[in-house]
């Protein structure tokens, strides 16, 4: 049983979805502190004026506020984000196939909490990519203690044999705590991505997966790990 645990991101990049695809269970870990100027409420797309951030306006009422407690400040962002996405990708090969799905989310959605928005988009995109990973919320798994301890506890409750992690987590994960529970750690390696026919050079890997879906249509599998 391969388990991965990540905080939710807004329209994440392809690496986020490669972790989901390589896992049996993926846990959205939003019971932790919300961090400003991070990937929780924003991501990047390509435009004819360079890389552009799409940011969801949120209300931060406390420095200890959790991601799951974070509400959007207004719903105006939906039309603005969709307008920008359509303007820049509307003529791309994948827009005809996938555009209507995202248009419905942006123009008809009504989620008021950031976690709900991210969860909906992560599930929507995972369905487009035909993943069969079980996507769960961290609220289902009581845990306490330090960051690594909480991750280990969630893995144990899911009977994990392997914990799949992004490479940046090497800086804070206590590997011994996993070893003591006979849980192997595997680290994602993002160095093997191929470039695809992206609009507006130079090529940029670290943008929302929307860029890949709209630029290559059904060939997206050739550019994921």
Tens digits of residue pLDDT in 167-217: 999 888 999 999 999 999 999 999 999 999 999 999 999 999 999 999 998
pLDDT for position 48: 92
pTM above 0.85, yes or no: yes
Tens digits of residue pLDDT in 80-133: 999 999 999 999 999 999 999 999 999 999 999 999 999 999 999 999 999 999
Domain count, the chain: 1
Q: Which of 222, 204, 168, 166 is nearest to 43 (CA)?
A: 204
% of the chain at pLDDT higher than 70? 100
Q: Evaluate the CA torsion angle 79, 120, 203, 165 in order and state its sign.
A: positive
Q: Which of 67, 63, 44 is nearest to 113 (CA)?
A: 67
Average of per-residue pLDDT values in the chain = 95
Q: DSSP strand E in the chain: where?
A: 2-6, 25-28, 42-47, 50-55, 58-59, 71-72, 134-137, 162-165, 184-187
Residues spanned by the domain of 120: 2-223
Q: Assess whether pLDDT exceeds 90 at residue 142.
A: no
Residue 171 CB contacts under 8 Å (≥ 6 apart), including other chains: none
Q: Assess whether pLDDT exceeds 90 at residue 152.
A: yes
pLDDT for position 63: 87
* Phi, then psi, of 205 in degrees rounded to 5: -75, -40
% of the chain at pLDDT higher than 90? 91
How does residue 6 score in pLDDT terms, banded at 50, 70 and 90? Answer: very high
* Phi, then psi, of 86 in degrees rounded to 5: -65, -40
Residue 192: CB atoms within 10 Å = 6
Name residue, tokens 């961090």.
Answer: 35
CB 151 within 8 A of CB 27: no
Tens digits of residue pLDDT in 66-75: 999 999 999 9
């Amino acid at each position: 049983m391969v388990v991965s645990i990540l905080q939710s991101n807004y329209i994440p990049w392809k690496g986020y979805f490669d972790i989901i695809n390589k896992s049996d269970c993926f846990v959205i870990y939003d019971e932790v502190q919300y961090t400003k100027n991070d990937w929780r409420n924003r991501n990047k797309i390509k435009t004819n004026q360079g890389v552009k951030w799409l940011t969801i306006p949120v209300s931060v009422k406390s420095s200890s506020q959790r991601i799951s407690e974070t509400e959007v400040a207004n719903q105006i962002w939906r039309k603005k984000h969709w307008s920008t996405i359509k303007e820049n990708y509307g003529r791309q090969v994948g827009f005809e196939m996938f555009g209507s799905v995202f248009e419905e989310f942006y123009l008809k959605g009504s989620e008021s909490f950031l976690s709900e928005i991210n969860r909906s988009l992560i599930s929507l995109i995972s369905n487009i990519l035909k993943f069969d990973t079980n996507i769960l919320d961290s609220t289902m798994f009581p845990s306490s203690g330090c960051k690594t301890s909480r991750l280990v506890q969630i893995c144990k409750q899911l009977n994990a044999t392997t914990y799949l992690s992004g490479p940046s987590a090497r800086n804070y994960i206590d590997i011994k705590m996993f070893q003591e529970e006979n849980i192997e750690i595997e680290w994602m390696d993002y160095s093997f991505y191929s470039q695809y026919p992206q609009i507006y050079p130079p090529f940029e890997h670290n943008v929302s997966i929307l860029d890949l879906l709209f630029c290559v249509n059904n060939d997206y599998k050739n550019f994921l790990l």
